Amino acid sequence: MRIKEIVLSKATIPVLLAGILGIAAVLYAWQLPPFTSSVQTTNNAFVKGRVTLIAPQLPGYVVSVPVSDYQHVAKGDVLVQLDDRIYLQQIAQAEATLQQQQNVLANFEQNHASKQASVDLANAQLTAAEAALANAQSASSRSDSLLASGISPQSAADVVRQALVQAQSSVAQAQASLSIAQQNLALVDAGLPALQGAVKGAQATVELARINLSNTKIVAPVDGTLGEVTARVGQYVSVGSQLTSVTPPNTWVIANFKETQMFGIAVGQQVSFTVDALNHAKLTGHISEISPAAGSEFSVLKPDNATGNYTKIAQRIPVRIEIDADQPLSTSLLPGMSVEVAVDTALAGTAAPATH
């Protein structure tokens, strides 16, 4: 009986040890006491960069592709050249229309001067007619006095009165001519804004044609390295067709921490991370920004937690990490690389407050 108890106890020891190790592994995996740590880690982290997709702003046939895949380019280098013959003719047409509108506007000055001269002439004619009317009125007054005294005959008085009526008619005619001349001048002046607007419209058309011509030459917006060049000579491309991409050399890391890990993480904290593609080489950086919301809030299809059965899932908070300078391996980081990030939240007291 005692031998059986000894055998049983020897068989139980490995089972107990296995159970203890299993429990310890679970506690360590979930960072439960006594394995709690101030270091928060995540492998949901990637190198990011400003990858710019290159696409045409107008349709056309590709006539030249002077670059190749993964080539380094400088800002302003030509990447793709589209057929520009149509846009050259559009510039010529627009410039001809502009010249025509400018000539019409130049003729306005001559037309305005001519109508102003007509107004001046009508003013002079009115002044002469008013002077003749004054003389006729004086003559009529004298004639009436002589007729009343019997010195002048009635026939002479009739002639003077007829001259007065004719002078009055001449004044009315001169006033009408002046009014017509002034209206003609006002009509010419009223057309000036329309002529100026036509010139500005023609100038805008010329500038638009020049912009379209410049857009046939697709250039690199920044210094960087090209991705795959999909443009081919003779290919017809439409607006928005992806031709290639340009990636500048500056990179950073986006680490998506669980919300349960965010306590103690703040802007300014030092961060260490390892890069899978660099044989798990270790680099350092610091937290520069913390997302203002969980990643799910920025998704196109947001979860509706108000319907159906609810299952609680720890959300992820994106954290931006700027890579420290003067690290030789930092130049080898490429956007999309996987990294593992570690932050010691025990140093939160020395960090700057969290900002977004």
Outline where DSSP puts E strands in the chain. Answer: 39-49, 52-54, 60-64, 72-73, 78-82, 217-219, 224-226, 236-237, 244-247, 251-258, 270-275, 281-290, 316-323, 338-344
Task: Give residue limits of the domains in the chain.
Answer: 1-36, 37-51+247-350, 56-80+219-241, 86-212
In tens, the pLDDT along 172-194 reads 777 787 788 778 777 777 667 77
Q: Is the pLDDT of residue 4 over 70?
A: no
CATH top-level class of 56-80+219-241 = mainly beta
Whole-number Å distance between alpha carbons of 145 and 96: 74
Residues 151-175 have a mean pLDDT of 67
The verdict on pTM exceeding 0.95 is no
Segment among 184-198, 211-225, 241-255, 329-343 with least mean pLDDT: 184-198
Identical fold for domains 56-80+219-241 and 86-212, yes or no, is no
Q: Is the pLDDT of residue 349 over 50?
A: no
Q: What is the mean pLDDT of the chain?
A: 82
Encoded tokens for 77: 């280098």
Q: Which of 149, 147, 127 is nearest to 139 (CA)?
A: 147
What letter represents residue 273's amino acid? F
Residues 96-122 have a mean pLDDT of 80
Residues 95-102 have a mean pLDDT of 91
The partner residues of 72 in beta bridges, in order of sequence, read 225
CATH top-level class of 37-51+247-350 = mainly beta
Residues 274-298 have a mean pLDDT of 91
Q: Which residues, including other chains, have CB under 8 Å from residue 82's CB and lie 6 or more apart?
A: 56, 58, 60, 61, 62, 63, 215, 216, 217, 218, 237
CATH number for the domain running over 86-212: 1.10.287.620
Residues 245 and 231 sit within 8 Å (Cβ to Cβ)? no
* Three-class DSSP category at 50: coil
